[in-house]
Structure 1
């Protein structure tokens, strides 16, 4: 046994006594230590067995759930978008299953849209081609005499087919980001007024009354591509003329607020149901249930308009018009 002094500021304030370890010599003490070691070993072994057993069951359970997710993912990869997960737990795996279901629903919807898109395009291409074929066969067989009216009919169908192919080409370029925009400061009202001048004869032929009120946003510039914006306004005006009853009215107005220039092209009756308004900018969408080619085009004009407006960081939407028809509102950010 030895004592070790504790110093503080050159003074001894206490002692630490250290007793040397005594070897375990007592038989009872040795037996106690052996029992403790043996119990510890048994506890450790039992705990290890429980842990391994629990891990095996948990692993098997997780493997079953992940196998179900793997099967669903493989089905999606193979093109089966109707499969849904049977996992409805509110844990991480359950949330992953929910995301897979959402992906499957989106892919299924896109597949149906693509199939409908192909069917609609086939219909639009087949119709003018069938007319062209019938007309030319009638001319060849002598059933229809070769007159100016017959040639005009053929030219009309060729023009319709050419416009459809051009619209599809424009949309395909937009999808891959290949549409070129050469933007520069543009006084939009002046551009629109020039386009309106070219439509005066068309509107007179349809007995449509045109009202223009663009003074509130005159001499205001936006950053835009004049060629694409011209295409935008031509499509909107064509759409207004096409879907306005003879003797109706078309109004073009504008205003500026919240650092945005807003142009509105509205027409008189007929109109469409409120629930159909958001769909007017979808490709190949027509508000009427029948596919009457005499009342409209292929349903691509407004879809192209939306792509052009989006490329100019603008917004376009359709609302009911006070004239009884539809009002197309287009907004563009103003530049300083």
Structure 2
């Protein structure tokens, strides 16, 4: 399908190829992509709607859930719609500025996602290890301030990536073998030396994300120590249940993100289609699964969602009867 009067040598354009070698299966691949995306949007918007409507949920923990939902909506919407345009309509053209913007947004959201997970671990630590001071240590205002610090940190550390790439000369071959503009996928299109880009990207991924992961491990180590000191088994179970959802989110988010980063640098033996599909899992699975996990494990949130679901069903039933 002809989309634009496009030549691969236009210096203002890149060309995203989708999944090389699986072009004939793009339509079939788009089915799980679109399903995961829609389910993720519905789940995260439901969390935002219910928490926003219910005054009883205006607490630090639910404010963090809203932050996570907003980030997951942003990170998936930044990448998945463009991938679906490639799969469905063969719309592979993307401007250089659009490509660098997409790269900046999804890397910033990824780092912000990591920051929110750290704040959530600290929230659980205070709730379990120092419950009497929880209301004074972690107010909604404090959570908002911590979220703002996480956003500023993400912007400051990620901004050099597109700035460095914008100064690079790109070769005549402007085909990016990917469904989105990942930092290393774009950097490999350069005709110049990209050692600085590689090094800085690796430092950001491992130093910043590694630091976040270490803080989370320390928080849960202290939580575990506090829980083991509790004599009541029922109290054990209650304390651990409050952490289950957060631990699941980490197990889904960190391995997929770090694995994708490593594959670009050290995964030369892995087939490109496998690499690209694995990279896309980060934008599909966490946004889809996290609202479900929190909804299942959080009784208060689950009850509020059920209340609004029943109310909607009753309203629709009344409308049908009126007709």
Normalised by the size of structure 1, how large is the TM-score? 0.30
Structure number with greater CO (CA < 8 Å, separation at least 6) is: 2
From the two aligned structures, give the one with the greater strand fraction. 1
Q: Computing the radius of gyration over CA atoms, which structure comes out larger, 1 or 2?
A: 1
From the two aligned structures, give the one with the greater helix fraction. 2
